């Protein structure tokens, strides 16, 4: 991870809702369409990319979320070493995919901020600023959606019941976090 | 505001989408051989129908994919949604 200051300065603890930035989390965008691309990813990471829209798949170390028919984000389940920009997974995929022209691997570790939300009021908070219908989504473990929250593009990953990961671009993260803090205080 | 069925992501609200104008406009094969009027016709002139219109849309805040839509412009009823490169399901 690059030497950024913490994007979000504090953890927010409200009744029934807890929000905090989790860092550093390795994040990669992988793109590809060929059949060889999918098998190379499967062999390299020992996990399959989710083929179904709005879903995710998980291994011990990594989670892959569906973003579009030929685009996925892979992120580490646990924070990684802060002092380095070298990611073993990226190196592995670069060798097995990029260099063989099967697809593209982009490191977006520092582009996206991951905010972890816990509590029973997560979706009430999202509903106050997003056009997406969360009724079915909130009961599907592993569901993923790219949508808008407070006019900001976000990726939401429903990790478990009442635990959600939210990805937002770094430049918007501070504003979004303060919006969520404000909105959550009035739930 | 209306609900659009993205062929990749499913039902989403219109505010996640951007309209990309009229669909199925074919770029002339030899632009250099066209007159200025013909080129202007291709570049700028668009139908503005009250009724069934074929349009391109982009799921800008979702999967960022382009697709086609058949929409009745008089009442915003979406008749069909189909992927790029596919033929319109209705004429």
Q: Is the peptide bond before A24 cis (omega within 30 degrees of 0)?
A: yes
Confidence class for position A164, pLDDT limits 50, 70, 90: very high
**Number of folded domains that form chain A:** 2
Is the pLDDT at A5 greater than 70? The verdict is no
Q: Domain boundary at A69, A92, A108, which? A: A108
Contacts of B61 in chain A (CB under 8 A): 146-148, 153
Q: Is B10 on the interface with A (CB under 8 A)?
A: yes
Backbone angles phi, psi at A67, to 5 degrees: -115, -35
A62 lies in some domain: yes
Q: Which of residues 71-90 of B touch A (CB under 8 A)?
A: none
Interface touch B16/A54, C-beta < 8 Å? no
Q: Looking at the structure, do residues A182 and A146 belong to the same domain, yes or no?
A: yes
Confidence class for position A1, pLDDT limits 50, 70, 90: low
- The answer to whether the CB of A2 falls within 8 A of the CB of A112 is no
A60 lies in some domain: yes
Q: Domain boundary at A108, A133, A148, which? A: A108
Q: Looking at the structure, do residues A17 and A31 belong to the same domain, yes or no?
A: no
Q: Looking at the structure, do residues A136 and A81 belong to the same domain, yes or no?
A: no
Question: What average pLDDT does this structure show over B41-47?
Answer: 94
Contacts of A147 in chain B (CB under 8 A): 12, 16, 61-62
Neighbour tally for B12: CB within 10 Å: 23
Q: Looking at the structure, do residues A18 and A34 belong to the same domain, yes or no?
A: no
Q: Looking at the structure, do residues A159 and A91 belong to the same domain, yes or no?
A: no
Confidence class for position A83, pLDDT limits 50, 70, 90: confident
Interface touch A147/B8, C-beta < 8 Å? no
As its CATH architecture, domain B3-83 has: 2-Layer Sandwich (3.30)
Q: Looking at the structure, do residues A158 and A171 belong to the same domain, yes or no?
A: yes
Pick among A31, A33, A68, A168 to test the B interface (most B CBs inside 10 A): A68
Predicted local confidence at residue B13, as pLDDT:
94
Q: Looking at the structure, do residues A104 and A138 belong to the same domain, yes or no?
A: no
**Domain with A140 in it: what CATH number?**
3.30.1360.120
SS3 category, B6: strand
Contacts of A140 in chain B (CB under 8 A): none
A186 lies in some domain: yes
Hey, what are A106's tokens? 């982009």
Predicted local confidence at residue B23, as pLDDT:
94
Domain boundaries, chain B: 3-83
A6 lies in some domain: no
Residue-range definition of the domain harbouring residue A150: 11-23+110-187
Question: What average pLDDT does this structure show over B79-83?
Answer: 95
A125 lies in some domain: yes
Confidence class for position A8, pLDDT limits 50, 70, 90: confident
Q: Domain boundary at A57, A89, A108, which? A: A108
A4 lies in some domain: no
Output the average pLDDT for chain A. 91
- The answer to whether the CB of B60 falls within 8 A of the CB of B17 is yes
- The answer to whether the CB of A6 falls within 8 A of the CB of A21 is yes
Is the pLDDT at A59 greater than 70? The verdict is yes
A3 lies in some domain: no
Contacts of A54 in chain B (CB under 8 A): 9-10
A45 lies in some domain: yes
Measured CA to CA in angstroms, residue A72 lies from A41, A54, A63, A92, B13 at distances of: 11, 10, 10, 16, 22
Q: Looking at the structure, do residues A19 and A40 belong to the same domain, yes or no?
A: no
Burial class (CB in 10 A: 0-12, 13-18, 19+), B61: buried
**Which of A39, A98, A103, A28 lies closest to A70 in space, CA to CA?**
A103
Hey, what are B32's tokens? 């250099």
Is the pLDDT at B30 greater than 70? The verdict is yes
Q: ipTM > 0.90?
A: no
């Amino acid at each position: 991870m690059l030497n950024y200051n913490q994007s979000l300065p504090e953890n927010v603890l409200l009744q029934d809702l807890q929000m905090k930035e989790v860092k550093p989390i390795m994040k990669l965008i992988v793109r590809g369409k060929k059949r060889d691309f999918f098998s190379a990813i499967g062999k390299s990471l020992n996990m399959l990319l989710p083929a179904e829209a709005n879903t995710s798949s998980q291994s011990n170390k990594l989670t892959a979320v569906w973003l579009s028919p030929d685009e996925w984000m892979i992120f580490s389940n646990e924070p990684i070493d802060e002092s380095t920009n070298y990611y073993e997974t990226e190196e592995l995929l670069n060798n097995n995919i990029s260099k063989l022209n099967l697809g593209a691997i982009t490191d977006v570790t520092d582009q996206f901020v991951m905010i972890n939300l816990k509590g029973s009021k997560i979706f009430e908070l999202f509903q106050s600023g997003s056009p997406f219908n969360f009724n079915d989504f909130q009961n599907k473990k592993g569901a993923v959606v790219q949508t808008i929250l407070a006019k900001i593009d976000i990726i939401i990953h429903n990790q478990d019941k009442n635990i959600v990961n939210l990805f937002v671009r770094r430049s918007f993260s501070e504003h979004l976090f303060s919006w969520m803090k404000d909105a959550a205080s009035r739930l | 505001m209306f609900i659009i069925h993205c062929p990749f992501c499913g039902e989403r609200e219109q505010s996640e989408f951007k309209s990309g104008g009229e669909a199925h406009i074919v770029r002339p094969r030899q632009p250099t051989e066209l007159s200025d009027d013909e080129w202007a016709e291709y570049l700028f002139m668009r139908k503005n129908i009250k009724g069934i219109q074929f349009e391109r849309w982009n799921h800008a805040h979702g999967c960022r994919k382009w697709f086609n839509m058949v929409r009745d412009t008089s009442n915003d009823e979406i008749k069909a949604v189909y992927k790029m490169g596919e033929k319109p399901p209705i004429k």
